[in-house]
Chain A
Amino acid sequence: EIQLQESGPGLVKPSQSLSLTCSVTGYTITSGYDWSWIRKFPGNKMEWMGYISYSGSTNYNPSLKSRISITRDTSKNQFFLQLNSVTTEDTATYYCARYFNPLGYWYFDFWGPGTMVTVSS
């Protein structure tokens, strides 16, 4: 079965960059679908951040477009999130997920367990 696992620092200082890794097992990320980052803020609001497709193209939430970058390492079957110039407003639990994207579908079918990131000095 497909499994995703997030990893990265749990504490980031304001103005620095947040960097997370999603390791995927059970499916090769270049075989298909889109590979997403989603975050859940304290208080439960959830926000889709962006994805990298199986071909390497990216699509970002316009609200983050100037600060976000999603890349991948196909040799390790991993994809990455970088969010620049973080503030305390970026404190959240970050999830990676597969975006099931055949025509007319478009939902998140497999999720990682999430990793909590706190932005604080």
Chain B
Amino acid sequence: DIVLTQSPALAVSLGQRATISCRASQSVSISRYNLMHWYQQKPGQQPKLLIYRASNLASGIPARFSGSGSGTDFTLTINPVQADDIATYYCQQSRESNTFGAGTKLELK
């Protein structure tokens, strides 16, 4: 299995930039496809797709969310952070089957 590693938590101030990382145990890129995706989950809600294929914004997602990376290292950036962004963020790879990271809880500083 491809293991995805995320930091458990990140504390940020409102209006600042948040950078959430996800590292894969092996490359999740095939040719030009970076098969890493990001989800936001708030308590009591289902996960919501934010970013697909590393850097593509899903429909209806605000432009303050962005993604980057290739190979084994990927980043989700929120800039500027708003109160509504307080949630847990998961990465998911689809290079080999499907696995998820353990999630990064975004907290207010």
Contact = CB atoms under 8 A, between A and B. Distances in A.
Interface of A: 44-48, 61-62, 95, 100, 104-109, 111-114
Contacts of A108: 37, 39, 47, 49, 92
Nearest to A60: B97
Nearest to A44: B103
B103 A114 contact: no
Given A44-B103, A61-B97, 17 more contacts: A45-B102, A47-B100, A48-B98, A48-B99, A62-B97, A104-B53, A107-B52, A108-B37, A108-B39, A108-B47, A108-B49, A108-B92, A111-B46, A112-B46, A113-B45, A113-B46, A114-B46
Interface residues of B, number: 24
Scoring B47, B58, B98 by chain A CB atoms within 10 A of each residue's CB, the highest score goes to B98
A100 B59 CA distance: 13
B35 interface: yes
Nearest to A107: B37
Contacts of A113: 45-46
Nearest to A51: B98
Interface of B: 30, 32-33, 35, 37, 39, 45-49, 52-53, 58, 88, 90, 92, 94, 97-100, 102-103
B100 A48 contact: yes
Contacts of A95: 46-47
Contacts of A48: 97-100
A96 B35 CA distance: 21
A103 B46 CA distance: 25
Given A113-B45, A113-B46, A107 B94 contact: yes
Contacts of A47: 100
